[in-house]
Amino acid sequence: MSDEKLGLYKEIPGGLHKDRSTADDWRKAKDTLYYEWWRCLNASNEYLECRAKGGKNHPLTDTYALFGDVNVSWAQWWVNIGKHIFSERRQYPKVRAIDQDEALSKLEVESKDFLILDIPLNLRRVTILEHINKLLDEHHNGKNLDVRAQSTALVQLETTKLQHKTIPILVDVAEILYRNPDIQLYQLAQRAKLAEHHLGRAVSEALSADEEKQRRQMAATRYKQQAQRLVYNAARLKFPSID
């Protein structure tokens, strides 16, 4: 796909525009799950082993064929690879007016991807919008709509129950484990800065030093397991997932 057709991304509201500088592009993309996926692969011994083999004769060859060498700066990787594999392959459909012939042709198509409305233009705008909203409540999935399932990008994000704010924390843990594979659980909890709400209790709860250490070790154990699963799945084109 040529750069002329790039620019629509599920994770970037408004997409990227041709008049925006390259620096603005990768900075905007850095606030997305695309960046966390790239970080995960840089914390994957398996993936970096595949990279060392040039992506050949390795179980992760398919992943490498898409993501390539991630052991470069985020800006460089995004410009050369990221924006191409995550960009949608077709334009998003738009709300538009259609003529009678097109309306009739649409009625012959067995699809639930659109809704034809008869909007009388001699009503007040606010009244029309009220009616439209009621119809959308009846026919649209609303918050249950799986937007990612509609993606046409070469590489697609998983629909996950993980909270968006939790994923960067898990990737932080993965990076710490990658750099310090023998780190103690309590040290992991400290270095990852697992806050009180991550430990599952109120700040006001008083604990002894031993209880505090035990609680942090338990939290670190949970986050370590989830981070390892996140990295494992990321290297297998499944992200974000801890299944």
159-214: pLDDT as tens digits: 888 999 999 999 999 999 999 999 999 999 989 988 655 555 555 456 676 777 78
28 within 8 A of 16, measured Cβ to Cβ: yes
- Residue 86: closest CA among 40, 148, 143: 148
The region that residue 184 occupies, defined by phi over 0 for left and psi between -120 and 50 for alpha, beta otherwise, is beta
- Residue 98: closest CA among 117, 126, 123: 117
Query: Could you tell me which residues are beta bridge partners of residue 9?
Result: 12
User: Taking the chain (243 residues) in consecutive chunks of 10 residues, what is each chunk's mean pLDDT?
Assistant: 60 62 79 97 98 95 97 95 86 63 64 73 84 76 58 86 93 97 93 69 60 83 96 97 95
- Residue 18: closest CA among 83, 107, 104: 83
123 vs 100: CA distance, rounded Å: 21
67 vs 75: CA distance, rounded Å: 14
In this prediction, residue 133 carries a pLDDT of: 83
**How far from the centroid of its chain's Cα atoms is residue 157's Cα?**
5
Largest CA-CA distance found in the chain, in angstroms, rounded: 76
DSSP 12: B
DSSP 9: B
**pTM for the whole structure:** 0.74
121 vs 15: CA distance, rounded Å: 33
Half-sphere exposure of 155 (CA within 13 A, CB side): 25
63 vs 53: CA distance, rounded Å: 13
- Cβ contacts of residue 115 below 8 Å, gap of 6+? 135, 136, 139, 140
DSSP-assigned states of every residue in 184-238: -HHHHHHHTT--GGGGTS-TT----HHHHHHHHHHHHHHHHHHHHHHHHHHTTT-
In this prediction, residue 207 carries a pLDDT of: 63
